[in-house]
């Protein structure tokens, strides 16, 4: 196992040997800060919102990495920065592109490389109401990526739109309708069809089921499972719902205030969580079973998440951590360490805890 914290010191288009064969994406030391400016005419930077601070992880081909955390922890910013929808402040995003046949650093890729990479790297957004243009028909929405990337002729695009609609569980005659004619679940299917149009190998799913009702959530999760099997897709699944992430992920990473605090294989993270924040997070998720809930002890965190514009010194979680040690946790910043095979934790006092 390669150390996910280690940077690969290679140039822009490193040779394939830089990434182990089974790794499709390696994010290393990714940083994204948003400047805080003052003044109307002479904008002066007075600070920065440190949304993502030095995040490193790998995703293996055909697997799903779940990225969890509460609002403001930087999970969506991480996704957008690695897709270059936001310009990263620093760091590398190594991606094995099928289209280019090589490993590309997305963070520094030029415009034409980026265009090619995006054939392989797609995203599905959370809000199926806001992410579809209300003035475009479903057919134009789904065929737009094909048009942009100049794929096929009109005839083949029509066939492909019909095929994609069928793949995501919609009917070919839906092609001529507009987004408002669909329910939330169906709109999310349209968003998924658009992401699949270019046959990507990697799809970022940013809270894809959060806006949906429970019975519809299950339909969409099943669809994502089926598509992954059928097209050998790799997913980065971003969510705040830890039970959904448990269902879909092979590996899970937990973020807090711009930092990654724990990353482990699915069973390991849920059965033997080691970081106190992961404990609190897991213990806060309600389980739909009154017998379990009544006897369950919650780890209640004090206060609120601090501002990322002014994160605490030392460990960013120390202000709310039930086991923080004065003079240590508020001074030194813990780094991710491999405490069990494939199980990385950033804490000075980690311990395995049963939270159910």
Partner 1 sequence: MTEPLLDVEDLRTYFSTEEGVVRAVDGISFKLKPGERRGVVGESGSGKSVTAMSIMRLIEPPAGEIVTGTIDYRGGNLLTLDEDEMQAVRGGKIAMIFQDPMTALNPVYTIGDQLTETIVMHQNVSKKKARDIAIEALEDVQIPNAPARLEDYPHQFSGGMRQRVMIAMGLSCNPDLLIADEPTTALDVTTQAQIMDLMFNLSEDRGTAVLLITHDLGVVAGFCDTVQVMYAGGIVEYGTVDDIYHNPQHPYTWGLLASMTRLDEDQRARLHSIPGAPPSVIDLPVGCRFRPRCEFAIDICGRVLPAIHPIGEGVQEVACHRAEELDLKSIDIATDDDGAVDVDEPTEQTVEDTAVQEAVEAADGIPDDEAEVTT
Site residues for partner 1, 176-205, by CB under 8 A, read: 176, 183, 185-186, 194, 198
Residue 284 near residue 297, CB atoms below 8 Å: no
**Interface residues for partner 1 in 63-82 (CB under 8 A)?**
70-71
For 94, which DSSP code?
A: E
Residue 175 near residue 168, CB atoms below 8 Å: no
Residue 148 as a binder of partner 1 (CB under 8 A): the answer is yes
For 31, which DSSP code?
A: E
Contact residue for partner 1 among 21, 22, 293, 332 (CB under 8 A): 293
Q: Candidates 30-38, 91-99, 139-147, 343-351 — which segment interacts with partner 1 by CB under 8 A?
A: 139-147
Could you tell me which residues come within 8 angstroms of residue 93 by beta carbon, excluding any fewer than 6 positions away? Answer: 25, 26, 27, 28, 30, 81, 82, 84, 105, 106, 107
**Interface residues for partner 1 in 259-288 (CB under 8 A)?**
266-267, 270, 280-288
Contact residue for partner 1 among 15, 21, 22, 213 (CB under 8 A): 213
Residue 43 or 296 having the CB closest to partner 1: 296
Residue 306 tokens read as 């601090």
Residue 108 tokens read as 């520094």
Least distance (Å) between residue 184 CB and partner 1: 8
Contact residue for partner 1 among 5, 14, 100, 158 (CB under 8 A): 158
**Helices within the chain (DSSP H only):** 75-82, 111-120, 138-148, 154-167, 184-196, 214-231, 242-248, 266-271, 276-284, 290-295
Residue 342 as a binder of partner 1 (CB under 8 A): the answer is no
Residue 16 or 292 having the CB closest to partner 1: 292
Residue 286 tokens read as 């309600």
Q: Is 60 helix (H, G, I), strand (E, B) or coil?
A: strand
Q: Candidates 43-51, 173-181, 321-329, 342-350 — which segment interacts with partner 1 by CB under 8 A?
A: 173-181
Least distance (Å) between residue 16 CB and partner 1: 25
């Amino acid at each position: 196992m390669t150390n996910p914290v280690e940077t690969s010191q290679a140039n822009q288009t490193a040779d394939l040997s830089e990434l182990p064969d089974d790794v499709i994406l390696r994010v290393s030391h990714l940083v994204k800060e948003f400047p805080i400016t003052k003044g109307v005419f002479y904008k002066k930077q007075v600070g920065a919102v440190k949304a993502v601070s030095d995040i490193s992880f790998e995703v293996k081909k055909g697997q799903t990495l779940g990225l969890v955390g509460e609002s403001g922890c930087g999970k969506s910013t991480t996704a957008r920065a690695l897709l270059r929808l936001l310009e990263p402040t620093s760091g590398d995003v190594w991606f094995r592109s099928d289209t280019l046949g090589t490993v590309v650093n997305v963070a520094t890729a030029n415009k034409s490389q980026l265009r090619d990479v995006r054939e392989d790297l797609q995203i599905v957004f959370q809000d199926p109401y806001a992410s579809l243009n209300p003035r475009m028909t479903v057919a134009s929405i789904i065929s737009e990526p094909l048009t942009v990337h100049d794929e096929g002729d009109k005839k083949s695009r029509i066939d492909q739109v019909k095929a994609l609609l069928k793949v995501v569980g919609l009917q070919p005659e839906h092609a001529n309708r507009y987004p408002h004619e669909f329910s939330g679940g169906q709109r999310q299917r349209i968003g998924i069809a658009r992401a699949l149009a270019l046959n990507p190998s990697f799809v970022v799913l940013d809270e894809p089921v959060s806006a949906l009702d429970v019975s519809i959530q299950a339909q969409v999760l099943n669809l994502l499972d089926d598509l992954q099997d059928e097209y050998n897709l790799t997913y980065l699944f971003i969510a705040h719902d830890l039970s959904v992430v448990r269902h879909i992920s092979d590996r899970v990473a937990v973020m807090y205030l711009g930092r990654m605090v724990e990353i482990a294989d699915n069973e390991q993270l849920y059965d033997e969580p080691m970081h106190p924040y992961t404990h609190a997070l897991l213990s806060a998720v309600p389980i739909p079973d009154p017998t379990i809930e009544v006897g369950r002890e919650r780890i209640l965190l004090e206060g609120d998440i601090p501002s990322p514009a002014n994160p605490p010194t030392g460990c960013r979680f120390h202000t709310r951590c039930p086991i923080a040690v004065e003079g240590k946790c508020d001074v030194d910043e813990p780094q991710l360490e491999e405490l069990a095979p494939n199980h990385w934790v950033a804490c000075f006092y980690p311990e395995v805890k049963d939270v159910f």
